Amino acid sequence: MNRPYTKSRRWRKSLALAILTSVSLTANAQSNGDTFVHLFEWNWTDIGRECTEFLGPKGFKAVQVPPPQEHRAKDYGALDEDAWWVRYQPMSYSIGNSRSGTEQQFRDMVSECNQAGVDIYVDAVINHMAGDGGDGTVSSMGRYASQNNYPDVPYSAADFHNCGKPEIDGSDYQNNAANVRNCDLVRLDDLKTESENVRSKIIGFLNGLTAMGVKGYRIDAAKHMAPADIQNIVSRLNPIAGTNTPVYVFQEVIDKSPGQEAITASEYTSIADVTEFQWADNIGRKFQGLFEPSFGQNGKLADLETIGSPAWGMLPSDKAVIFVSNHDDQRGDGRFAIVDYNDEFGLNFIAEAYQMAQPYGYPKIMSSYYFNANEDRSVSRPTVPTNSPTGGCEAPYGPNRGGSEGWVCEHRWTGLANMVAFRKTAENQALTNWWSNGANQIAFGRNGAGFIAINHESYPLVQQLQTGMADGQYCDILSGDFVNNSCTGDIITVSSGQVSVNLPNRNSAMAIHTGAKIGGGSGSNRQVSFTCNNGSTNLGTSVYVVGDSAQLGNWSPNSAIKLDPTAYPTWSATISLPANQAMEWKCIKRLESGGGVQWQNGSNNQLGSASTSTSGSF
Catalogue the active-site residues.
220, 252
Is residue 71 within 8 A of residue 140, CB to CB? The reply is yes
What's phi and psi for 116, nearest 5 deg? -85, 0
The whole-angstrom separation of Cα 289 and Cα 518 is: 37
The whole-angstrom separation of Cα 3 and Cα 151 is: 42
175 burial (CB, 10 Å; 0-12 / 13-18 / 19+) is exposed
Residues 6+ apart with CB under 8 A from 276: 265, 314, 315, 320, 321, 322, 361
Strand partners, 570: 567
The residue type found at 366 is M
Residues 6+ apart with CB under 8 A from 498: 464, 465, 466, 467
Omega within 30 of 0 (cis) for the link into 569: yes
Is residue 246 within 8 A of residue 240, CB to CB? The reply is yes
Distances from the Cα of 593 to the Cα of 455, 540, 557, angstroms: 50, 8, 11
Question: Measuring CA to CA, which residue among 589, 591, 585 is closest to residue 616?
Answer: 585
Displacement of CA 412 from its chain's centroid (Å): 12
- Would strands 472-475 and 482-483 be described as parallel, antiparallel, or unpaired? unpaired
> What is the residue-wise DSSP string for 272-332?
SEEE-HHHHHHHHHHHHT-EETTTTEE--GGGGGGTTSGGG----GGGEEEES--HHHHTT
3-state secondary structure of 253: coil
The whole-angstrom separation of Cα 49 and Cα 126 is: 28
Omega within 30 of 0 (cis) for the link into 154: yes
